[in-house]
Amino acid sequence: MPKKERKRLQVVISEEQDALLTRTAYELSSPERLISKSEVVRLAIEKIARELGEGAHLDTYRKIMEASEVADEA
């Protein structure tokens, strides 16, 4: 899939989320190819969108978002 030239979204993430991104990128990387945190984010977006399009995990994602909203308000 070709990348579009777009302005990057500036999303604030917690230190815990950054650590998760770093760990995931490290786990997906191999000696032949280093995976960036941006690639992990793109992969996650595609995976979630695909699953939602198939009607999978709707309740799970809603619960995660509701929990995230509660944490953001604290």
Three-class SS string for the chain?
CCCCCCCCCCCCCCHHHHHHHHHHHHHHCCCCCCCCHHHHHHHHHHHHHHHHHCCCCHHHHHHHHHHHHHHHHC
Residue extents of the structural domains in the chain:
36-74
User: Residue with structure tokens 């944490």?
Assistant: 71
Check residue 4 and give its pLDDT: 66
Check residue 55 and give its pLDDT: 84
| 11-55 tens-digit pLDDT | 888 999 999 999 999 999 999 999 999 999 999 999 999 998 888
- pTM for the complete prediction? 0.72
Task: Please choose, from the candidates 11, 47, 12, 15, the residue with its C-alpha nearest in 3D space to the C-alpha of residue 28.
Answer: 47
Check residue 8 and give its pLDDT: 74
Q: At residue 72, does pLDDT exceed 80?
A: no
